[in-house]
Amino acid sequence: MLSKIKNLNYLILFLTMLISFIGAAGLYSAAGGSYDPWASKHLIRMLAMLLMAIIIALIDIKIIFKYAYLLFILSLILLISVELIGVFGKGATRWINIFGLSLQPSELIKIFIIIALARFYHDLKYEEVRKIANLFLPFLILFLPFLFVAIQPDLGTALSILILGVFILFVCGIRIWKFILGISLVIISIPLMLNLLKPYQKDRVISFLNPDADVLGRGYQLIQSKIALGSGGLSGKGFLEGTQSYLQYLPEKQTDFIFTLIGEEFGFIGTIFIIFLFILLISTCFYISIKSNHIFGRIISIGVGSNIFIYVIMNISMVSGLMPVVGIPLPLVSYGGSVMLSIMISIGLVLNIELNSNLKKISYA
């Protein structure tokens, strides 16, 4: 046990803590220079969940392997329960209350999708990967969460689940023509999907295409975000000096638009620094994937890195006006317990994979 603790990847732990502390500083500023209501809870969650990540890192990897499908099924049951006992908020039913804690199962299920796919492809021989019959279970593992998240409705998270699944299937060796066929089907079905969008989702698409058409209505969020980012300049206005935030022009500044607030106060240099930290964290996950001797560890590590990448690229693109506002937070920086819980579980798994990277094959515990 002590040797495992000594051999933990402390670079990952350091990066996780540093990004979280930057998030706490941003939340402190978002509250007008107060730890309440966001920064204090963010720090408490970070410390508690970081301890949980270390505990996950020390678990026998054979146990995680053995119960991979069960963990996915339990997370899917949680996701389905949103339809029965979910709490409505922000135009959708995405949360459930467990022992007084608000939980968003759609964020948690991403990591269990990764674990289930890793277990499935670990058991396959390379020549079996490309068989059509062996796409059925991965399709179910991806489609069922995608369907129930889209029903909530949460188009942004559903889209991120789909992209994550495509990433994993690609690295597992699925042939390119199957992806081309899938993309073609998606493009053909775009008119149908647009008709199924809720009114507020259509407004987000319209505001993305032409935010100036309604500057005080549906285009307001995006315009104010761009103003805040642009006004930060090279080095920013200074900590606690972000006028867009303090004058309440910037909506959802503690969650989806926290990157914008940091950009206003710390400028281009501050935003590039955050991006650099995420690149370093993602690259470390990919390095551990390459270093791992077993397929289970490779897929989990590259899946975790890809998941963090999707969070980061979608959030930054969203607040910069490069894609519609879809409600994707910036991991470890935005305020929210479910995303942090999902990321910390992921970090614990990657730490575990590195500790067991020398195993050539994993069997049941």
Distance CA 200, CA 207 (A): 10
Q: What is the pLDDT of residue 360?
A: 65
CA dist 143 → 129, 163, 210 (Å): 19, 12, 32
At residue 184, the pLDDT reads 66
| Both tokens assigned to 25 | 């500083």
List, for the chain, all residue ranges whose pLDDT scores fall below the cut of 70. Answer: 86-93, 99-100, 176-219, 245-249, 360-365
> Do residues 71 and 112 lie in contact, with contact meaning Cβ atoms separated by under 8 Å?
yes
Tell which residue, 306, 293, 312, has the closest CA to residue 346. 306
Buried b / exposed e along 152-182 (16+ C-beta atoms within 10 A)? bbbbbbbbbbbbbbbbbbeebebeeeeeeee
pLDDT of res. 283:
96
CB-based contacts of 279: which residues, under 8 Å, 6+ apart? none
Check residue 236 and give its pLDDT.
84
Give the ranges where 197-294 is alpha helix by DSSP (H). 199-209, 220-231, 243-246, 258-291
Burial class (CB in 10 A: 0-12, 13-18, 19+), 77: exposed
User: What burial class does residue 245 get, using C-beta atoms within 10 Å of its C-beta: 0-12 exposed, 13-18 middle, 19+ buried?
Assistant: buried
Q: Between vectors from CA 83 to CA 189 and to CA 97, what angle results, nearest 5°?
A: 130
CA atoms in the 13 A half-sphere facing the CB of 34: 6
Q: How far apart are CA 225 and CA 269, in angstroms?
A: 17
CB 263 within 8 A of CB 270: yes
Looking at residue 134, what is its pLDDT? 82
**Coil, strand or helix: which one is 343?**
helix
In the prediction, which pLDDT does 203 show? Answer: 62
Domain limits, the chain: 2-355
Tokens of 103: 């939980």
Q: Read off the tokens for 355.
A: 């500790």
Give the pTM.
Answer: 0.90
How many residues are there in the chain?
365
**Rounded CA gap, 329 and 312, in Å?**
8
| Residues 301-357 pLDDT 10s | 999 999 999 999 999 998 888 888 777 899 999 998 889 999 999 999 999 999 988
267, 236 Cβ separation under 8 angstroms: yes
> pLDDT tens across 210-256, in order?
555 555 566 677 777 888 788 888 888 888 887 776 666 677 778 88
Give the pLDDT of residue 94.
73
Beta strands in the chain (DSSP E): 87-89, 92-98, 101-103
Strand partners, 88: 93
**CA of residue 85 relative to chain centroid, distance:** 24
